[in-house]
Amino acid sequence: MAESVRARVQPTQVLAGLVALAFLTLGIAGFVRTGFSDFAGHGHGMLLGFAINPLHNIVHLLFGVVGVLLAWSSVTARLYGWLLFAGYGVLVIWGLAIVGLTSTNPVSELGNPLNLNIADNWLHLGIAVLGLVVAIVPARRRIVQTEPERTPVEEPITDPVPVQQPVATDRTEPETTTEEQQHKPRGLHRLSSLRNRSAH
């Protein structure tokens, strides 16, 4: 009998773990590139075409550490996906306002502490979509063959059949007759034999 059960490791956990490792790699590589000075400055070099600074690197490291911690179960991995979707969705809107792709910038007083550019906005949009995938990816199931439970078969209850006793036959009469014939006097035997001869 086949039974469908949830697999131990779900795709959402694998995706969350891979995204978390990618964030950790970006954060470490970013610190190698920028160092730790001028934490929210704009004068640092670029990493693969993306503008970064030490504060931006810390954001990457934080998302990496949280992802590693939440990837151990399916429920928390999906929660991590929603966090990515919401957090980087906000960063996309903020980045578009910073680079001037919107008519107004409601957060202009905050400046650009993460040193965002247009390439960062495209990357953050991709991360937000990836977070949505992590949150809603279907669960994986596996087929397990199980043996059906065997139920004991109850035997029908029947009344016991009465045992027929053998009927004893009386065989003592012939023996008695024989014994009576044997106890007849010899003279009577001879007389009966003589009568039989004369009759012939």
140 contacts 81 by C-beta, under 8 angstroms: no
135-184 per-position pLDDT tens digit: 999 887 765 566 666 666 666 666 666 666 665 555 555 544 454 555 55
129 contacts 86 by C-beta, under 8 angstroms: no
109-141 per-position pLDDT tens digit: 777 888 888 889 999 999 999 999 999 998 877
Q: What is the pLDDT of residue 130?
A: 95
Residue from 94, 50, 67, 53 nearest 13 by CA: 67
**pLDDT for 97 beyond 70:** yes
Give 104: exposed, middle or buried? Use CB within 10 Å, 0-12, 13-18, 19+.
Answer: exposed
Q: Between 199 and 82, whose confidence is greater?
A: 82
Q: DSSP letters of the chain? A: -EEEEE-SS-HHHHHHHHHHHHHHHHHHHHHHHH-SSSTT-S-S-EETTEE--HHHHHHHHHHHHHHHHHTTSHHHHHHHHHHHHHHHHHHHHHHHHHTT-SS--TTGGG--TT---HHHHHHHHHHHHHHHHHHHPPPPEEEEE-PPPPPPPPPPP-PPPPPPPPPPP--HHHHHHHHHHHTS-HHHHHHHHHHHHHH-
**pLDDT for 1 beyond 60:** no
Residue from 137, 113, 116, 125 nearest 15 by CA: 137
Q: What is the pLDDT of residue 147?
A: 66
- The pTM assigned to this predicted structure is 0.65
**pLDDT for 95 beyond 90:** no
pLDDT band at 94 (very low <50, low <70, confident <90, very high): confident
The domain locations on the chain are 2-145
